[in-house]
Amino acid sequence: MSRTISLILYLVLAPFIGALLDGVDRKITARMQGRKGPSLFQPFYDLVKLFSKQMIAVNSVQLLLNCSYLVFLAIAGGMVFFGTDILMSLFILSTADMFLILAASSDSSPYSNIGASREMLQMMSYEPMTLLIAVGFYLATGSFRVDEIILQSSAAIWMMPGLFLGFILIMAIKLRKSPFDLSTSHHAHQEVVKGITTEMSGPTLAIMEIGEYYEKMLLLAIVGLFFIHDTAWSWIIGIVACLGVYFIEILIDNVCARVNWKKLIEICWLITLLCGGINILILMLI
């Protein structure tokens, strides 16, 4: 019953909490840049405005692909909150990203197609680490299932410090934070500006942003898995860790300049080999 409640709460509340965290992101970013910044509820106002606009799509497929992106993200997160297989959840997360790439490349805009190509390059860079993280949880806890991982006698972070650092890197890429905001950006500071979302507007763009909020909550939930175990106070530590990692991502976004795609792949594969590979090797030996 508790797992069902967790699933329902995720499906219902994830977009609202994700939008609120987006508002916090904008507020902190503005303060770091010496500005007052928008209201914390600005993302909600943006969604209302987008849904109120006329439905305009460059083709009949884009809306379907964006809806598929949203649905697959909801399923991926739902699997984690329901306590099922984290490996399958991460595979579905990758499938959702493919739908977003297809949506961006379904029109003739050069900016949108460049964004789609860069999104694919980003996937190539972080997918190896994603797989290693799932394998790491299995080696550290003996299971891929989330409900069994959180019942361990100690937190997984003690066995997976390298993989945790790698996951922070992955989050920066998947949240499209500098220096890894190649495909699109929430701030107008790159040459392709909106990249994959260039040709998205109105409800189509709103659906994509809600999908991002589901993805954000899924990623933060995985951060929590590194810290949550069979004691009640570990949940508090997990929540604090999620907020701390999210702040780190905002800080990195505001102090780093964007790198090119070659440097992105070099950095990600280097971190994957050093942090992820060595951590997996140690887990296999012990």
Q: How far is CA 272 from CA 130, 160, 213, in A?
A: 9, 13, 26
Scan for tokens 């984690």, then name that residue. Answer: 80
Rounded-to-integer distance, Cα 197 and Cα 209, Å: 10
| Number of neighbours of residue 7 by Cβ within 10 angstroms | 18
Does 280 score more than 60 pLDDT?
A: yes
Residue 56, pLDDT > 90, answer: no
What's the predicted TM-score (pTM) here? 0.92
33 φ/ψ angles, rounded to the nearest 5 degrees: -95, 10
> Looking at residue 199, what is its pLDDT?
80
Q: What is the pLDDT of residues 60-80, one digit of tens each?
A: 788 889 999 999 999 999 999
Distance between CA atoms of residues 41 and 241, nearest Å: 24
Percent of the chain scoring above 90 in pLDDT: 61
Q: Is residue 25 within a helix (H) or strand (E), and if so which, with residue range?
A: helix 2-32
The 10s digit of each residue's pLDDT in 140-182 is 999 999 999 999 999 999 999 999 999 999 999 998 888 888 7
Query: Residue 251 belongs to what H/E stretch?
Result: helix 233-255
pLDDT of residue 63: 86
What is the pLDDT at residue 256? 82
pLDDT at 210: 95
Question: Residue 211's closest CA among 176, 178, 164?
Answer: 176
To the nearest 10°, report the CA torsion of 117, 121, 124, 127.
-90
Phi, psi (rounded to 5 degrees) for 145: -80, 135
Give the whole-angstrom CA distance, residue 61 versus residue 73.
18
Count the Cβ atoms, other than its own, within 10 Å of residue 132: 23
- pLDDT at residue 93, rounded to an integer: 93
Cα separation of 126 and 143, whole Å? Answer: 22
Query: Average pLDDT of the chain?
Result: 89
